[in-house]
Amino acid sequence: MTRQPRPRSMMSFAPARRGASRDGAVVLARSALRLPPLGLPVLAQPVLPRSVLAFSVLALSFLAVAGPARAAGTPDAALPLAVPARPPVLLADPATGMAEMIRQLEKDPGLVVLMLETLPITQADIADVIRTMPLNFASLGFPEVTRRALDVLVSQKAMVLNARKEGIDKDPAVLRREKIATERIMSDEWLARKGNAAVTDQALHARYDHDIAGKPGPYEVRARLIVVPTADEAGALLGKAQAGIDFSDLARAYSKDGSAPQGGDLGYVPLEAVAPEIGPVMFALAPGQMTAYPMRSAAGYYLLRVEGRRQRATPSFEEARPVLERAIRAEAVQAAVGSVLDGIKMAPAPKKDEPAQK
């Protein structure tokens, strides 16, 4: 049987050009790498034909190196985006790490990275997608997180274009749900502003004096790490380590983590600075112990060997500041939710023949 050729996509893909117009027919390059689902509804994406993947990761190259096109009406001189150095895959304070990625992108929110027909993708769009990701994705590093966010936006905007062509954007049920989504965004922003307003220098210093000053610091563990893509690879390396091959040599030779050149040495880290799927394992091991079997994480399969344990001195105010900010912000948001109905009048809906209550 003769194999029929696959029909080509009606959308051709290319990276945005410096100075390209929002309304031009320049279209978007999607990463050729298939990404695992992130567990979010928006990420249930169709597979785009291979013909649209020809430019592979050019989009991210423009984002990180060349400087993408700006939105219409903005200066043409685009500076390259500062890409933070990639941390060890399984380390970083997740909330602070994600916040830093968003901050980098929002230095120039209107910068157009790519165009999908008439729809632009800006750095602000990428930042908004990153806000919806699980915090432990921060351990993947800035390039990988932005790549995944860009992949989400490409599929999402492609579906929007097709929906508009089919008139779905005029459907009354869709318009009703659009209103609900807008209200949800407004309520989330209201909560965020309440939380941010509570984070003041006075509140931070008061919390530091009450919770941290004069008290022993946190325990820290020093460990070595190996991260590989598959369970089979991790199992084979575990066998070699158990047979007496030096763990640090294995890490240098095989690990995909940023700590590989240092033999997988992560240094001393506190529990809150480790991804949640890694921390409990690391802190449960005694010095000299190694994980008994490969463990799975967002970055792959990992092995750990604990080298030491210590208790730190009391953290300085600046060291504790990120944790203090999150605690104060969370409490303010909780208080705002508890008082959200204060001053709001509620009444049952009137019957058809009755006037509305005033």
CA 288, 289, 295 angle in degrees (round to 5)? Answer: 140
The CATH number assigned to the domain holding 276 equals 3.10.50.40
**Where is average pLDDT lowest: 106-110, 172-176, 227-231, 268-272?**
268-272
Pairwise CA distance, residues 162 & 182, whole Å:
22
Pairwise CA distance, residues 22 & 56, whole Å:
22
Q: Does a structural domain hold residue 330?
A: yes
State which residues form the domain around 224: 219-311
Q: Does a structural domain hold residue 75?
A: yes
Same-domain status, 67 and 82: yes
Same-domain status, 49 and 139: yes
Same-domain status, 103 and 134: yes
Number of domains forming the structure of the chain: 3
Query: Using an 8 Å Cβ cutoff, are 287 and 307 in contact?
Result: yes
Predicted model pTM: 0.56
Q: Does a structural domain hold residue 8?
A: no
Pairwise CA distance, residues 296 & 282, whole Å:
13
Same-domain status, 197 and 325: yes
Pairwise CA distance, residues 286 & 130, whole Å:
36
Same-domain status, 54 and 129: yes
φ and ψ at 16, to 5 degrees? -65, 145
pLDDT, mean over the chain: 77
Same-domain status, 328 and 280: no
Q: Does a structural domain hold residue 3?
A: no
Q: Does a structural domain hold residue 29?
A: no
Residues 6 or more apart whose CB falls under 8 angstroms from that of 35 comprise 147, 148, 151
For residue range 294-326, list pLDDT tens digits in order.
999 877 899 999 999 999 889 899 989 988 998
For residue range 59-104, list pLDDT tens digits in order.
444 444 334 444 443 333 333 343 444 444 454 467 778 888 999 9
- Which pLDDT belongs to residue 84? 42
CA-wise closest residue to 9 among 118, 167, 162: 162
Q: Does a structural domain hold residue 47?
A: yes
At residue 122 the predicted structure's pLDDT band, cuts being 50, 70 and 90, is very high
**Where is average pLDDT lowest: 24-38, 72-86, 187-201, 295-309?**
24-38
Q: Does a structural domain hold residue 19?
A: no
CB burial of 153-172 (b: ≥16 within 10 Å; e: otherwise) equals bbbbbbeebeeeeeeeeeee
At residue 9 the predicted structure's pLDDT band, cuts being 50, 70 and 90, is very low
